[in-house]
Structure 1
């Protein structure tokens, strides 16, 4: 399957030739699509995930990002092997449908552990490498819920609001070191997270999964759900040097949902 858009005369852009890129949660969904595209553009991609992957072009490291020790060990092994880290896509995340009363303390801790602490741990270990290099590009995984609230999404929305502010603050702190930090904010996308969320909504509301999906589609002005490759296209641009004067940005890719 071709994962790169065609260029004039059959050219293919190689924005990541000889670049070392870490993608967390790269085994499926947006992480997988982004890793494939990065690899196709010349990157040496390291996938940090708890689910094994045999994706062509990426190097898999088993890593639970909610564990600082595991993140630290993974990043140290990459740095030892490569001597540098050019870009980081902190993509790994989990979802939880429910109000505060519907959400257990344990569920809240798990969502925050992956979505917030996981990103913090990756930044904590990767940024010193980039600062020493005096260059780097970081992309955090936000959400349309970094901008707006949604019902039955209390803890997930809280986590994505936190990620958005972390991106802004970190962008300011590391701009002097030529490190750019941006946050991609997808809307509803065809991923395993969406499938699980639809199932949870079905159990809570009794609305069929088909009807729930139809409602999600029609909520976007574009009247459809995104495909992972569409998010990956923007992710690769934000990770590349093409946006050399862009940092601290929260970039929606949501079919128009948050402009309503």
Structure 2
């Protein structure tokens, strides 16, 4: 029960990494606030957690909407009195070279992946500052540090999140608030599965090719990232401040792409 008694808010927790993390955190004793833009997805995850004996509540909000975020955070405080952990997980992927990416796609990626992290953090931070403790986990990507084919906009947003994390840590360390970032590699989520099916004539062959990017020849799972998030959320990582945590199968340190 590594998160016993902690109140945790996870954005984008209706599927993929967010859903796996919500389930793991609840199993470890946290009271989990499941946020997602999809009410159906979020409620389903809450149902699964509660049926398994955990504690979870769904609050719908678009992380890019200031008023919705403010209302969500105020609701959490009204119900739970505090927020111990914020996992800024909500994000979207963008595939394509810069010149072929439509302006509205660029704008949406910036809004969700950067502004979303800023907006939720901005409204949670005053409560963490008042309680003199907290852990914020920001979802970056290993692409924040390496070049990669047809991922320019996505990489730019995740690079911004990593830079934001480091400067946030300097500002909020005096309040005993830790701010760290997760940098996953290719994780086999429903998005990746659907992308392979829609973008390639032979999805299985494409999957095998993608696996070779990692040193171990495998893709990561949502549970791999959830376990890393659990470490950052727990008191076991109390000496980690402003740190990037790689869950990438060795892509960044091991070989060029």
* CA apart distance, 1:193: 2.6
Q: Deviations over 1:100-149 (max 9, x none)?
A: 11111100011111110000001100111100001000100011112112
Is the Cα–Cα contact under 8 Å of residues 97 and 201 in structure 1 kept in the other structure?
A: no
Distance 1:23 1:219 in 2: 29
Distance 2:164 2:232 in 1: 17
Number of the residue aligned with 2:17: 30
Matched, 1:136 2:123: no
* CA apart distance, 1:211: 2.3
Number of the residue aligned with 2:159: 161
SS at match of 2:212: helix
Number of the residue aligned with 1:75: 73
Matched, 1:182 2:180: yes
Matched, 1:227 2:185: no
Q: Number of aligned pairs?
A: 243
Structure 1 segments unaligned to the other structure (5+ residues) = 1-13
Distance 1:196 1:186 in 2: 19
Number of the residue aligned with 1:108: 106
Number of the residue aligned with 2:64: 66
Q: Deviations over 1:231-257 (max 9, x none)?
A: 111110011111111110011111111
* CA apart distance, 1:210: 2.1
Write the mapping of 1:1-260 to structure 2, written as runs, cut at 5 A: 14-51=1-38, 52=40, 53=42, 54-55=44-45, 56=49, 57-199=55-197, 201-202=199-200, 208-259=202-253, 260=255
* CA apart distance, 1:198: 2.9
Distance 2:155 2:192 in 1: 14
TM-score with structure 1 setting the length: 0.90
Distance 1:215 1:129 in 2: 46
Distance 1:171 1:138 in 2: 9
TM-score with structure 2 setting the length: 0.91
